[in-house]
Amino acid sequence: MTTFFSVSDSNESTQIIKKSEFITTVVPIKDEEDAQSKINQISDQYAKANHHCFAYLLGNHQEIQRSSDNGEPSGTAGVPILEVLKREHMTNLLVVVTRFFGGIKLGAGGLIRAYGSSTSQALTESHKVALIKQVELKIHLDYNQNDQLNYCLNQVNVQPQQTDYDTRVTTTVLVDETNLENFKQQLIELFNGNIQIEQLEEVTTSKPTE
């Protein structure tokens, strides 16, 4: 299963190539409306720039992919940015490369390399996070089983999100989707089936890569 990544916060990187200044802005995004809003903000911030080329991806498996050359020759800016993002398995992410033309034409190949390398450099300098698909579980058990459950959770490195005490104890946890069935089976065997596991929604959480 492929792990996809995003960034924890916005980042900006600059490089000069043959007197042209390339300012690359990396921004986490929630949806297409958010992406367009961020593109407009960056365009306004650098209103005197010659080009604001961009690409973004959205969805757990990069289902939405958009790019724009914004006046550069077709295929020389937006697509190279997008290809770097796809290669690095990035999603829920916008990259805008703003260019201030320095007077020297780079040619199609030079532009492709410039926009691609600007994107790669900015990603390298960003704080990446892994996007992990998890499943929320509610575990219902008796009070005399609670210590054993907590010990088990600690052993498998699963942190309780919430614990409610009523007629029974209910502990809410998030479990990686890839480990879900093994985790549930462990609990069933540990408590000889005398435990109730309620499976709720899937969520995507982020974990630092460093």
Rounded CA gap, 159 and 103, in Å? 57
Q: What is the pTM of this model?
A: 0.82
Domains for the chain: give ranges and CATH numbers. 4-126 (3.30.230.30), 131-208 (3.30.70.240)
Half-sphere exposure of 183 (CA within 13 A, CB side): 26
Q: With beta carbons less than 8 A apart as the criterion, state whether 125 and 41 touch.
A: no
Per-residue pLDDT reduced to its tens digit, 99-114: 999 999 999 999 999 9
CA 152 to chain centre: 30
Q: What angle do CA 32, 98, 113 make, to 5 degrees?
A: 100
Mean pLDDT of the chain: 95
Q: Averaged over 11-31, what is the pLDDT? A: 98
Q: Averaged over 115-133, what is the pLDDT? A: 96
Res. 164: pLDDT tops 90: yes
Res. 1: pLDDT tops 80: no
